[in-house]
Chains A and B, each alone.
Chain A
Amino acid sequence: MFRWLIGTIALSMMAARALAADPVEIHIGYLGHAGVKSTLSLVEQPADNDGIAGARLAIEDNNTTGKFLNQRFALDEVKVKDSDDVAKVATDLAGRNDYIITDLPADALLKVADALRDRGTMLLNAGAIDDRLREQDCRGNVVHVAPTRSMLADALGQYLVWKQWKRWLLVSGSHDQDKLYADALRRAANRFGAKIVQERTFEDTGGARRTDSGVTLIQRQMPVFTQQAPAYDVLVAADESEVFANYLPYRTWDPRPVAGSAGLVPTSWDAAHDQWGAVQIQNRFVKLNMRRMTALDMQAWTAARMIGEATSRTSSGDPKKVIAFLKSKDFSIAAFKGTRLTLRDWNWQLRQPILLADGRMVVSVSPQEGFLHQVSELDTLGVDRPETKCKLQ
Chain B
Amino acid sequence: MRRRCLLTGMLVWLAATPASAFVAYVSNEKGNTVTVIDTDSWTVTKTIKVGQRPRGIEFSRDGKFVMVAVGDDDTIQVIDTKTQEIVDTLPSGPDPELFTQDAAGKTMYVANENDNTVTVIDLEKRARLGDIQVGVEPEGMTISPDGKVLINTSETTNMAHFIDTATRQIVGNVLVDSRPRFAQFKRDGSELWVSSEIGGTVSIIDPVKREVTGKITFEIPGLRNEAIQPVGIGMTKDGKTAFVALGPANRVAVVDGATHKVLKYLLVGQRVWHMDFTPDEKYLMVTNGVSNDVSVIDVAAQKVIKTIQVGELPWGITVAQP
Given A277-B137, A332-B199, A376-B226; A64-B157 close (CB under 8 Å): yes
A322 nearest CB across to chain B (Å): 15
- Bound together, the chains give a CA A376 to CA B159 distance in angstroms of 27
B interface: dominant SS: loop
Contact yes or no, B116 A68, CB < 8 A: no
Contact yes or no, B159 A65, CB < 8 A: yes
A54-92 residues at the B interface, CB under 8 angstroms: 61, 64-65, 68-69
Q: Please name 26 pairs of A and B residues whose Cβ atoms are closer than 8 Å in the assembled complex, sorted by A.
A: A61-B156, A64-B136, A65-B135, A65-B154, A65-B158, A68-B135, A68-B157, A69-B175, A277-B113, A277-B137, A280-B155, A281-B156, A283-B114, A284-B114, A305-B156, A312-B158, A332-B198, A333-B178, A334-B179, A339-B227, A339-B229, A340-B198, A340-B200, A376-B226, A377-B226, A378-B226
- Bound together, the chains give a CA A283 to CA B95 distance in angstroms of 11
Contact yes or no, A65 B178, CB < 8 A: no
Is B212 engaged at the interface, CB distance under 8 Å to the other chain? Answer: no
Contacts of A284 in B (CB 8 A): 114
Contacts of A312 in B (CB 8 A): 158, 175
Residues of A within 8 A of B (CB): 61, 64-65, 68-69, 277, 280-281, 283-284, 305, 309, 312-313, 332-334, 338-340, 376-378
Given A68-B170, A377-B226; A332-B178 close (CB under 8 Å): yes
Interface string of B200-234 (1 = CB under 8 A from A): 10000000000000000000000011110100000
Contact yes or no, A64 B135, CB < 8 A: yes
Task: Indicate the member of B113, B136, B155 with the most A CB atoms within 10 Å.
Answer: B136
Contact yes or no, A61 B175, CB < 8 A: no
Q: Which of B137, B157, B224, B225 contacts A280 (CB 8 A)?
A: B137
Residues of B within 8 A of A (CB): 95, 113-114, 116, 135-137, 154-159, 161, 170, 173, 175, 178-179, 198-200, 224-227, 229, 248
Give the nearest-CB partner of B170 in chain A.
A68
Q: Total number of A-B contacts with CB less than 8 angstroms? A: 68
- Bound together, the chains give a CA A281 to CA B178 distance in angstroms of 16
B197 nearest CB across to chain A (Å): 8
Q: Which of A65, A339, A378 contacts B198 (CB 8 A)?
A: A339
- Bound together, the chains give a CA A377 to CA B156 distance in angstroms of 24
B225 nearest CB across to chain A (Å): 8
Task: Indicate the member of B137, B173, B179 with the most A CB atoms within 10 Å.
Answer: B137
Contact yes or no, B155 A277, CB < 8 A: yes
Give the nearest-CB partner of B197 in chain A.
A334
Contacts of B136 in A (CB 8 A): 61, 64-65
Q: Which of A68, A283, A377 contacts B173 (CB 8 A)?
A: A68
- Bound together, the chains give a CA A61 to CA B154 distance in angstroms of 11
Contacts of A68 in B (CB 8 A): 135, 157, 159, 161, 170, 173
Contacts of B248 in A (CB 8 A): 338
Contacts of B175 in A (CB 8 A): 69, 312-313
Contacts of B179 in A (CB 8 A): 277, 334
Give the nearest-CB partner of B172 in chain A.
A68
